[in-house]
Chain A
Amino acid sequence: MLEIKDLYASVQGKEILKGLSLKIGAGEVHAIMGPNGAGKSTTSYALAGREGYDVTSGSVTFKGEDLLALKAEERAAKGLFLAFQYPLEIPGVSNLTFLKTAVNSQARLRGEADLDAVQFLKFVRTTAKTLNVSEDMLKRPLNVGFSGGEKKRNEVLQMAMLKPSLAILDETDSGLDIDALKVVAEGVNALRAPDRSFLVITHYQRLLDYIVPDFVHVLAGGRIVRSGDKSLALLLEEQGYEALTEKAA
């Protein structure tokens, strides 16, 4: 699905990623954990194609294609999705309009026809219901006045509508209380499928109690310093980043 090889990336001239390598197979759930400043957000932005996150060397292959050659919107149309740590507000644009624009825009980039409006509405409504996204939230301007939990549920709704092959969750647990966290995790778990992979980026182990990963990686100093199964997350929680990263170094 995704293969990152020896990736170096810098932001405003400062090198953040220093030789990151990672391979994610179809249907797998990987978690990247790491202390502040390890390069977690840079990883997600570099993969999603944000301007200003310059890859200086290395390669990223997504579904057999050179991901780095694509624009952000083309990556999305290819099946990459990034759930934001802080979803943006767009005043005056209803949630529904935004979803429809995104779905149709991706279809167009793939050379497909626009979605039938009636079918689209039906699909949104059923999906929204399972995620506890109210009709009112669909009509309100995108993320404007949404609570932290509402914003994150809305991210999962977008994910469900866009049906990505690889979903990156960037610190999705930040700012969520335990109930909101459960709803979001359930939403994500419902989307798990043999042809869909997840990369969960998080600071805390807590989220991984609910979204159980197949692999856990520790990111420090811009590269993966340790990999293991889900027990690694527990070990991290117990011993702290410092102990583990020191050992690795």
Chain B
Amino acid sequence: MTQEADTLKELADQKYKYGFVSDIESELAPKGLSEETVRYISAKKNEPDWMLDWRLAAFRRWKTMTEPKWARVHYPPIDFQDAYYYAAPKVKKPAPASLDEVDPELIKTYEKLGIPLSEQKMLTGVAVDAVFDSVSVATTFKSKLEEVGVIFCPISEALAKHPDLVRKYLGTVVPVADNFYATLNSAVFSDGSFVYIPEGVRCPMELSTYFRINASNTGQFERTIIIADKGAYVSYLEGCTAPMRDENQLHAAVVELVALEGAEIKYSTVQNWYPGDETGKGGIYNFVTKRGDCRGANSKISWTQVETGSSITWKYPSCILRGENSVGEFYSIAIANHFQQADTGTKMIHLGKNTKSRIISKGISAGSAQNTYRGLVRVHHKAEGARNFTQCDSLLLGSKCGAHTVPYIESRNPSAILEHEATTSKISDDQLFYCQSRGIPAEEAVALIVNGFCKEVLQQLPMEFAVEAQKLVGISLEGSVG
């Protein structure tokens, strides 16, 4: 046992590869949170009056709210006045018209991250909207998307160019007063992506947003809205990293998805925010509200997430299955190492007839980490013939970490069929030795075994990201065996 513990400890001592800081001057909003901050952000973005009013209403509401305490995560109180709510890289000129005008330092940062920003490199067919701290830097492949009528741009641009469309959907899936962090986001969100796929259009490429928190003491509050009109299809991927910093930084995003009749949205996340060091110092607080609304009949929303970073993750990408025969899916890999805490899962709200949902959750805990799956499956009394299948598997590395499964099931319709399966396992010494005796070092063996454990979820990722995610799984667990 002790050998195993040592081995695991060694593997848990990984280095965070994305911990560099870019030397870019930032333009910051005044520190702290007040109506002035909200007005500042709105003014910076040249927003219409209704948007400012919406933000201010959210801010007033937020002041009356308290932080949720029900999750199995522990952290000292956050001083919301001790952070910057807006940080933009200082641009020499007004908005860049083409990639050539983007600060070369920024481009270098993205190259370090492996983001192919220049269109020439975009052989993978991925359009990227890169968000650096609070501002979208460049959106690639815009013209190609415009040809088919797809709107893919920073939300600030959407507010300027398509205000009615934004107004029609903003806050309709995650209401302003939904929860503490969502309300905070509503008041101060500074960027994020806006996607609209017109009726009957199958988006010709994967859409992707890359988030990076660079400035210190800043929070990142992006808001992403994706609308798939009738019969439309889109696959969207977001990736996240942040530099290593001793203090904790807050990330409170809101994502709203709307799928109309017969539409399908596939939303994938590879979250690799800085997790803090081996002693639990620093790291991102990732308090995120993601929700999809299957508004039309026969629509489908599928969430896939690979959560390896952040010191605390509090995240429940959910589906409201309103339309008849609509389908919600949640595929999740959550890895927690060292002192990371993850409380993540999903909510599947069955409102319509014959709605189906599927939940596959793979939690991996190493070091002294705590990993909780928290999920709700609710069947409304009108949801005749609803079906859910849930599978929660936990894998433990070492004896100091914890895995917790908290499933809530509420059924108000007797015709519903709900299934729940859960397993907890450990990587055995026997398995490790077997791999070693074949020439595979322990660390690689762990990566191999964990990847096997996560296979069902990894398969859901778009091809070009599956390979990256597989590597990330290995890297996240480096140092947890020896």
A residues near B (Cβ < 8 Å) are 48-52, 71-73, 75-77, 81-82, 84, 87-88, 90-93, 97-98, 101-103, 105-106, 109, 141, 158, 162
Contact = CB atoms under 8 A, between A and B. Distances in A.
Given A49-B436, A50-B437, 11 more contacts: A51-B3, A73-B439, A88-B428, A90-B448, A90-B452, A92-B451, A92-B455, A93-B449, A93-B452, A98-B448, A109-B439
Contacts of A91: 452-453
Nearest to A107: B439
A106 B431 contact: no
A229 to B, nearest CB: 30
A87 B454 CA distance: 22
B71 interface: no
Contacts of A109: 439, 441
B437 A92 contact: no
Interface residues on B, range: 20 to 34
Given A98-B448, A101-B448, A162 B454 contact: no
Contacts of B435: 90, 102
B439 A92 contact: no
B481 to A, nearest CB: 11
Interface string B423-463: 00000111101111111111010001101111110000000
Given A72-B433, A73-B436, A92 B452 contact: yes
Contacts of A101: 440, 444, 448
Interface string B1-36: 001000100000000000000000000000000000
B453 A76 contact: no
A102 B435 CA distance: 8
A158 B451 contact: no
A76 B434 contact: no
Contacts of A48: 433, 437
A87 B434 contact: yes
Nearest to A93: B452
B453 A92 contact: yes
Contacts of A73: 436-442
B451 A93 contact: yes
A141 B455 CA distance: 11
Given A51-B3, A141-B452, A71 B439 contact: no
A200 to B, nearest CB: 17
B398 to A, nearest CB: 15
